[in-house]
Chain A
Amino acid sequence: MGQIQLKQVTKSFGDVQVIPPLDLTIQDGEFTVFVGPSGCGKSTLLRLIAGLEDITTGHIEIDGQDATDVVPAKRGLAMVFQSYALYPHMSVRKNIAFPLRMAKLDQAEITKRVERAASVLNLTDYLDRRPGQLSGGQRQRVAIGRAIVRDPAAFLFDEPLSNLDAALRVGMRLEISELHKRLETTMVYVTHDQVEAMTMADKIVVLQAGVIEQVGTPLELYHTPQNTFVAGFIGSPKMNLMTGEEAAKHNAHTIGVRPEHIDVVESGGQWQGTVGVAEHLGSDTFFHIHNTGLAETMTVRAIGDVNLKHGDTIHMTPRVSEIHRFGADGLRIE
């Protein structure tokens, strides 16, 4: 249980169609991440699945059953909201118990399930506190707790980590991934952060303006981006995209090379440029390079600490096998 299928789903707000006809299948037990820039329709898509928005045309099937006109509560899905949407006047215990109370379970069963969820999420000590007395990470866990007590067919996460600080975000990322491994329940996760997408997903769905640009595993997207948008969006720092003469040499309209696939050499490299900003991370160094004649700025990764300063000339050689080629329509050329 937990398979979600979208068939020719569209969504319009008034005259504006935010999601053109879209087909997508999310397999049972899969961790699927919707990723894309702000306003690409990924949250809308999630809300369509949840039932919080009505779809304009098309069908949604959950476990093979048509769920298009089913109310949110009856779809068997649980959602974790960006703001957590905890009920501020209820204790943590009551927050987690709320869906069970609404489902009219008996008190003993509610207590048992709440205790179990609390122990899974390390919330046992906080059960009698109010959300206002918890830290951001704890609130996040309460929101997840409220979702897992229902044993849903699938979890929906709407940018759940965007309100946390960087360190906590990495921690929660791991916790959610571990939760997925343990529960083996379908999870649909919306984020604009491609690092979250890469680290957590079984399957990434890259969206732009409501259109699915590519669906695949994180490494598929990394190694074989189907178009320039995906090439530029997946990977950090961004892939260097070049048009013009250099691309023509490879019989393409655009070529792309990731910063980690360009080697910095002492002299005689294929490309040259002036070092702008150097970002030293210790394990590696990212150089932002100007005046290459290829693109406005380029990013290059060097392993370890390389002694190049602002204004120095840098010599680089791309690894030919790692060059991605794209046609004039932006699509990949094999």
Chain B
Amino acid sequence: MATKASRSAARFMIAPAVVLLLGWMLVPLIMTLWFSFTKYLPLRGDSIDRGLDWVGFANYGRFLSSSSFWPSVQTTLVMVGGVLLITLVLGILLAILLDQPMWGQGVVRILVIAPFFVMPTVSALVWKNMLMDPVNGIFAHLWRFFGAEPVAWLQDASLSSIIMIVSWQWLPFATLILLTAIQSLDSEQLEAAEMDGAPVLKRFWHIVLPHLARAITIVVLIQTIFLLSIFAEIFVTTGGAFGTRTLTYLIFQRVIDSQNIGLGSAGGVYAIILANIVAIFLMRIVGKNLDA
């Protein structure tokens, strides 16, 4: 099929997209690297036009020695891990539930997917003001109805609250991917296991779960990529207070609140390194599932 002419034509036509993508990725990356080695404080009059002072690894040292660095890494990992755990467990349960024949299946499936279409800012605001508000929130009313003291969610259980919000957003994604995987399971395998004497839970453990391994891998990989850069949910709920400052949020504060672009850029490079470490770990742990 691919003649010499068609191949060069393909290259020619794909070139704009490749150049654009490379540009969009490489230019900011190189600029971040450059800024991270300079003193760049716009409020003190530093600007690219006047030339930036080269400071070597000073920004990296400062970012690392800051008292908020390691807690932010920990917060990031707890948040990513928590959301992954919740979305996977509930996602598998929901997928199994949605796979059962029932009345109104189509409508239910659309309802399940719905949270995914809501913008992160909007859903975080809805959770904050409608559900979690300690005075007027639905949870507060519910707690009071049962005679309990309403919880000030975003203060007293801030990280868990954000994990809850983010899980709510990402559960549809996990459910959807796991549902398609469950639907591809050969029903004869389950019947064979049934005849082999495996009761429901063992069928789930020995047949369904291994079958889902690949889908779980995909969910973990894709979600991790997006969860590492969670921002809007923190910004509109706690603003990084009460132990919800992730690495992403710390970088934001360094650049925007402290107006220290050099320091923030160094943090950005650390974030890239962290993301890659996590990615390598994930690939090592779950990668063997992908080439089965």
A85/B189 in contact, CB under 8 A? yes
B210/A77 in contact, CB under 8 A? no
Known: A98-B206, A102-B202. A85 touches B194 (CB 8 A): no
B191/A73 in contact, CB under 8 A? no
Q: Which residue of A lies closest to B209 (CB)?
A: A89
Q: Which residue of A lies closest to B191 (CB)?
A: A52
A85/B191 in contact, CB under 8 A? yes
B195/A77 in contact, CB under 8 A? yes
Q: Which residue of A lies closest to B198 (CB)?
A: A102
B contact residues around A102 at 8 Å (CB)? 196-198, 202
Asked if A108 is at the interface of the complex by the 8 Å CB criterion, the answer is no
A-B contact count (CB 8 A): 59
A82/B211 in contact, CB under 8 A? no
A contact residues around B241 at 8 Å (CB)? none
Interface residues of A, dominant DSSP: loop
A contact residues around B192 at 8 Å (CB)? 79, 81, 85, 87, 146
Interface residues of B, dominant DSSP: helix
Nearest-neighbour CB distance to chain B for A83, whole angstroms, equals 5
Asked if A50 is at the interface of the complex by the 8 Å CB criterion, the answer is yes
Nearest-neighbour CB distance to chain B for A80, whole angstroms, equals 9
B157-213 interface (Cβ within 8 A of A)? 186, 188-189, 191-199, 202, 206-207, 210-211, 213
Known: A87-B206, A87-B207. A52 touches B189 (CB 8 A): no
Nearest-neighbour CB distance to chain B for A200, whole angstroms, equals 22
Asked if A235 is at the interface of the complex by the 8 Å CB criterion, the answer is no
Known: A89-B210, A89-B211, A89-B213. A83 touches B186 (CB 8 A): yes
Flag A217-234 by CB within 8 Å of B: 1 or 0 each. 000000000000000000
A contact residues around B186 at 8 Å (CB)? 83, 85
B contact residues around A132 at 8 Å (CB)? 292
Asked if A78 is at the interface of the complex by the 8 Å CB criterion, the answer is yes
Asked if A103 is at the interface of the complex by the 8 Å CB criterion, the answer is yes
A73/B196 in contact, CB under 8 A? yes
A82/B188 in contact, CB under 8 A? yes
Asked if A99 is at the interface of the complex by the 8 Å CB criterion, the answer is yes
Known: A85-B189, A87-B189. A73 touches B292 (CB 8 A): no
A47-101 interface (Cβ within 8 A of B)? 50-52, 72-73, 77-79, 81-83, 85-90, 98-99
Nearest-neighbour CB distance to chain B for A234, whole angstroms, equals 29
How far does the alpha carbon of A185 sit from the alpha carbon of B206 in the complex, in Å? 29
A contact residues around B292 at 8 Å (CB)? 88-89, 132
How far does the alpha carbon of A88 sit from the alpha carbon of B199 in the complex, in Å? 19
How far does the alpha carbon of A98 sit from the alpha carbon of B210 in the complex, in Å? 14
Partner of A73, one of B197, B206, B213: B197
Known: A89-B211, A89-B213. A81 touches B196 (CB 8 A): no
Known: A73-B197, A89-B213. A81 touches B191 (CB 8 A): yes
How far does the alpha carbon of A88 sit from the alpha carbon of B192 in the complex, in Å? 13
A contact residues around B197 at 8 Å (CB)? 73, 99, 102-103
Nearest-neighbour CB distance to chain B for A276, whole angstroms, equals 42
Q: Which residue of A lies closest to B202 (CB)?
A: A102
B210/A72 in contact, CB under 8 A? no
A contact residues around B196 at 8 Å (CB)? 73, 98-99, 102, 146, 150
Q: Which residue of B lies closest to A82 (CB)?
A: B188
Q: Which residue of B lies closest to A75 (CB)?
A: B195
B193/A98 in contact, CB under 8 A? yes
How far does the alpha carbon of A51 sit from the alpha carbon of B191 in the complex, in Å? 10
Nearest-neighbour CB distance to chain A for B217, whole angstroms, equals 13
Nearest-neighbour CB distance to chain A for B154, whole angstroms, equals 43
A79/B195 in contact, CB under 8 A? yes
How far does the alpha carbon of A52 sit from the alpha carbon of B195 in the complex, in Å? 8
Q: Which residue of A lies closest to B211 (CB)?
A: A89
How far does the alpha carbon of A79 sit from the alpha carbon of B196 in the complex, in Å? 9
Nearest-neighbour CB distance to chain B for A307, whole angstroms, equals 49
How far does the alpha carbon of A98 sit from the alpha carbon of B203 in the complex, in Å? 11
Flag B3-23 by CB within 8 Å of A: 1 or 0 each. 000000000000000000000
B contact residues around A99 at 8 Å (CB)? 196-197
How far does the alpha carbon of A215 sit from the alpha carbon of B7 in the complex, in Å? 65
B contact residues around A83 at 8 Å (CB)? 186, 188
B contact residues around A51 at 8 Å (CB)? 195
Nearest-neighbour CB distance to chain B for A190, whole angstroms, equals 14
How far does the alpha carbon of A168 sit from the alpha carbon of B207 in the complex, in Å? 29
Flag A144-171 by CB within 8 Å of B: 1 or 0 each. 0010001000000000000000000000
Q: List 29 A-B pairs, Cβ < 8 Å.
A: A50-B195, A52-B191, A52-B194, A52-B195, A72-B194, A72-B195, A73-B196, A73-B198, A79-B192, A81-B192, A82-B188, A83-B186, A83-B188, A85-B186, A85-B188, A85-B189, A85-B191, A85-B192, A86-B189, A87-B193, A87-B206, A87-B207, A89-B211, A98-B193, A98-B206, A99-B196, A102-B198, A102-B202, A150-B196
Residues of B within 8 A of A (CB): 186, 188-189, 191-199, 202, 206-207, 210-211, 213, 292
Task: Name the 4 nearest CB pairs between A and B, nearest first.
Answer: A73-B197, A85-B192, A99-B196, A85-B188
Residues of A within 8 A of B (CB): 50-52, 72-73, 77-79, 81-83, 85-90, 98-99, 102-103, 132, 146, 150
Name 12 extra pairs, CB < 8 A, besides A88-B211, A99-B197: A50-B195, A52-B194, A72-B194, A81-B192, A82-B188, A83-B186, A85-B188, A85-B189, A85-B191, A89-B211, A98-B196, A103-B197
